Amino acid sequence: MLACKHSVDSTGNKDYQAIRLMVSAANYLGLKFWVAVGFTYLCYVEAPPENMATKAIELELQLDLANEEK
């Protein structure tokens, strides 16, 4: 979380309200990490259409910066 906050602060733009990222649903350790550092809001699930060869599912997670400062 500190690295994300530092990245936003270093831009000089204080208008950012949230940070979003995509992570594979198959990456359990990655999901566990991002949720642990505050990316707890699920924005979007990107899944292939049914009967596609791939089963890759991507999750878009969000960290609300406004809530972090309180």
Looking at the chain, the whole-number percentage of residues with pLDDT higher than 70 is: 74
Q: Which two tokens stand for residue 70?
A: 């309180």
pTM: 0.73
User: How many whole angstroms from its chain centre is CA 21?
Assistant: 3
Q: In the chain, what are the domain boundaries?
A: 15-68
CA distances from 16 to 9, 20, 38, 41, 56 (A): 9, 11, 16, 16, 30
Q: Can you tell me whether residue 42 is helix, strand or coil?
A: strand
Band (pLDDT 50/70/90 cuts) for residue 30 is: very high
pLDDT score recorded for residue 32: 94
Beta-carbon contacts of residue 14 (< 8 Å; ≥ 6 apart): none
User: Tokens 């690295």 — which residue?
Assistant: 3
43-66 pLDDT per residue, tens: 999 988 877 777 789 999 999 887
Band (pLDDT 50/70/90 cuts) for residue 15 is: confident
